Amino acid sequence: MNIKYRFLLVFVVVTVITAGVLVAAFSSYQTDIRTDAVETTERDAQTAAAILDNRLEQQQQTLAVAAANPTLHANDERAQQAALESFVDESAFTGVSVVDSDGEMQAISGVERESRETVVGESYTDRSYVQRALSGETYISDPFEADTGNKIVVISTPLYEDDEIVGTVNGALELDETTLFVPFADSSDETAISVIGGETTLYSTSDRFEESLTHTATLSATDWTVTAHYDTAAINSEIRRLTAIQLVLSVILIGAVSGFGIWIYQTEIRQTERLHRRIDNIEARTYDDEITFGGTTEWKAIGTALERLSTTLARREQMLLVLNRFLRHNLRNDLNVAAGHAADIKRDAESPELKQRAETVERVVSRTLSTADRVRLTEQLIDPTALVGESTELMALLRDQIEQATRGSPTLSVSLEGPESVEVRGGQTLGFAIEELLSNVAAHSGPRPLARISVSTTPDSTILEIADNGPGMHPEEAAIITGHKEITPLSHSSGLGLWLVNWIVRRHDGQLSIPETDSGTTVVVRLPRADRKDD
């Protein structure tokens, strides 16, 4: 995959992961806000119930202390009345009364004289709080509307004399004026408390909320319920504030990632693309392109090095082409002249010795002309576009070359093993390579030269082996030709043919090797198959 698209893919993945992390964090924070609100509501409900239980318990204890006053069960009506009025003045109760064991009202405080005269002597046996107190229980009644029109609750406790219940003391708490609910007035703007007794709302500050989270707890002293409220609007407002902060952070973070990505693309990826194009141009022998490298010192150094390399390669290629043309024209013309004079000398020579020398000159000149013809192949091998897309049916090419080789060298014997046909990458120069290898067998394998050719295939390549029955090649010379050893003034190859074969094979993305054998020489050529698809 192209590096630009790899970078784009990585950038998209990093951006998506970053966005995913931000979304997950936001979702987690949102859940935390709601969880905190739920926990706060539960805690407030439990706390409010505990406070109200404690306050009601205090009122029950206050009433029980008052019931222990012997004046309340004395027969002195004035003393009873005075004791009740004193109790009302000193307590949170708005009214208090004494009922005897028969359920008849004995005394009452906290009401007008006319009302007091009306109710004293009346029977209250039908009141549940009186019944429960006469049975020995301190009891808190359900809320009800008193004769005065106010909403009250009554706490009743037994009145004892010598461990015998002789009546009840009943304290009334007016809900509109009671201090029971004072602690709930200090709740925050987003929380509220409601107290319900039976089906009656005793206290509530939740009417300012359109919608709220709630949690309810039941009192232990009575069956009242306390409900804590958390304003949904406050939760939504907090979430909106968090969303805004999250959005700003997301823009900053993704912007930073994007900025960093753009900077990397400009300073590294585009420079890498330029490097690839520059190398491709050098390979295509386009040495004078206008691709430049800026940015960091390292990239400038790479650009300078590539410029020097282009200049050097262009100069060397020019020298090679000039030398090629010299061999093909000037030297060839001179050799043809020398060959003509040698032929004339041989024809006119009278002595056998002179004729033999002329034949030697002819043979040397002919071999040199053949070498010059081979050198012409280098121009085709240098051109990077000359062999693009070419393919050859190898088995047919081998059969043609074997026929030509055996016709030119009647003593040469060649065997061929392999598939019926196989396509390999390569053009006409492959024919020269095979011709050169068979010529080497004919020239260096003695009076009865033998070449054994075998072809095998793998999914990616075709392997051609040519083995002869000659004296074999020195390992050092084979190493030089295949590139495993460097050329030095004292270590070099004497023939041009195998050099050309190696260049041709490499030009077709193949490999040439000359493994050591016990006898003869084996040349192994590995060529890519034409039907193989590149990755």
Q: Note the pLDDT tens digit of each residue in 353-365.
A: 888 888 888 888 8
535 domain residue, yes or no: no
Mean pLDDT computed over 107-119: 83
Is 533's pLDDT higher than 60? no
Is 487's pLDDT higher than 70? no
* Angstrom distance (rounded) from CA 170 to CA 128: 12
Burial 44-53 (b: 16+ CB within 10 A, else e): bbebbbebbb
Question: What percentage of the chain carries pLDDT values higher than 70?
Answer: 89
- Cβ atoms of residues 309 and 289 within 8 Å: no
* Angstrom distance (rounded) from CA 105 to CA 88: 17
71 domain residue, yes or no: yes
- Cβ atoms of residues 97 and 170 within 8 Å: yes
Is 442's pLDDT higher than 80? yes
Higher pLDDT, 425 or 489: 425
Domain boundary among 360, 378, 396: 378
* Angstrom distance (rounded) from CA 444 to CA 498: 13
- Which range is least confidently modeled, 131-140, 371-380, 398-407? 371-380
Q: Retrieve residue 473's tokens.
A: 């090649």
Same domain, 266 and 413: no
Mean pLDDT computed over 77-104: 88
291 domain residue, yes or no: no
pLDDT band of residue 489 (cuts 50, 70, 90) is very low
* Angstrom distance (rounded) from CA 270 to CA 3: 10
| R_g over Cα of the chain | 57
Distances (CA, A) of 27 to 34, 36, 234, 252, 425: 11, 14, 18, 19, 60
Total number of domains in the chain: 3
178 domain residue, yes or no: yes
35 domain residue, yes or no: yes
Mean pLDDT computed over 11-17: 83
Domain boundary among 224, 253, 282: 282
Distances (CA, A) of 357 to 91, 94, 342, 414, 425: 152, 153, 9, 35, 46
Per-residue model confidence (pLDDT) at position 41 = 92
Please state the separation of Cα 323 from the chain's center in Å.
58
131: CB partners within 8 A, 6+ apart = 125
What is the residue type of 440? N
Same domain, 125 and 218: yes
Per-residue model confidence (pLDDT) at position 218 = 92
Per-residue model confidence (pLDDT) at position 320 = 72
pLDDT band of residue 389 (cuts 50, 70, 90) is low
SS3 track for 175-191: CCCCCCCHHHHHCCCCE
Q: Summarize pLDDT for 216-230 with one digit per residue, the tens.
A: 999 988 888 999 999
Q: What share of the chain is helix, strand, coil (3-state, %, to 5)?
A: 55, 20, 25
Per-residue model confidence (pLDDT) at position 484 = 57
Same domain, 354 and 432: no
417 domain residue, yes or no: yes
Instruction: Supply φ then ψ for residue 22, to 5 degrees.
Output: -65, -45
Give the angle subtended at the CA of 112 by the CAs of 165 and 60, to the nearest 5°. Answer: 35
Same domain, 161 and 93: yes
Same domain, 408 and 451: yes
Question: What CATH number corresponds to the domain at position 442?
Answer: 3.30.565.10
Higher pLDDT, 294 or 323: 294
Select from 534, 535, 527 the least CA-distant residue to 510: 527
- Where is 456: in which H helix or E strand? strand 450-457
Q: Summarize pLDDT for 172-195 with one digit per residue, the tens.
A: 888 776 777 888 877 788 899 998
Mean pLDDT computed over 76-102: 87
pLDDT band of residue 170 (cuts 50, 70, 90) is very high
Same domain, 128 and 231: yes
Contacts of 456-459 with C-beta under 8 Å, sequence gap 24+, read 456/418, 457/419, 457/422, 457/529, 459/532
Neighbours of 155 (CB within 10 A): 25
Mean pLDDT computed over 245-272: 84
Q: Summarize pLDDT for 280-305 with one digit per residue, the tens.
A: 888 777 878 778 887 788 888 888 88
287 domain residue, yes or no: no
- Where is 108: in which H helix or E strand? strand 105-109
Same domain, 262 and 404: no
Mean pLDDT computed over 406-423: 90
403: CB partners within 8 A, 6+ apart = none
Which residue range(s) make up the domain with 449? 387-528
Q: Could you give the maximum distance between any two Cα atoms of the chain, in Å?
A: 184
Per-residue model confidence (pLDDT) at position 490 = 34
Domain boundary among 236, 257, 282: 282
Per-residue model confidence (pLDDT) at position 483 = 59
Question: What percentage of the chain carries pLDDT values higher than 90?
Answer: 17
| Angle subtended by helix axes 3-67 and 270-283, to nearest 10 | 160
Per-residue model confidence (pLDDT) at position 493 = 40
pTM of the model: 0.52
Per-residue model confidence (pLDDT) at position 496 = 65
- Which range is least confidently modeled, 36-45, 67-76, 339-348? 67-76
Same domain, 363 and 441: no
Instruction: Supply φ then ψ for residue 92, to 5 degrees.
Output: -85, -5
Same domain, 339 and 263: no
293: CB partners within 8 A, 6+ apart = 271, 274, 275, 299, 300, 302, 303, 306
Same domain, 418 and 312: no
Q: Counting beta carbons within 10 angstroms of the beta carbon of residue 502, is it exposed (0 to 12), middle (13 to 18) or buried (19 or more)?
A: buried
Mean pLDDT computed over 99-112: 88
Mean pLDDT computed over 327-338: 78
Mean pLDDT computed over 516-533: 83
Per-residue model confidence (pLDDT) at position 42 = 94
Q: Retrieve residue 217's tokens.
A: 């707890």
Same domain, 154 and 33: yes
- Which range is least confidently modeled, 109-118, 146-155, 254-263, 374-383? 374-383
What is the residue type of 101? S
Same domain, 334 and 405: no
- Where is 27: in which H helix or E strand? helix 3-67
* Angstrom distance (rounded) from CA 196 to CA 142: 10
* Angstrom distance (rounded) from CA 352 to CA 349: 7
The chain-wide mean pLDDT, for the chain, equals: 83
17 domain residue, yes or no: yes
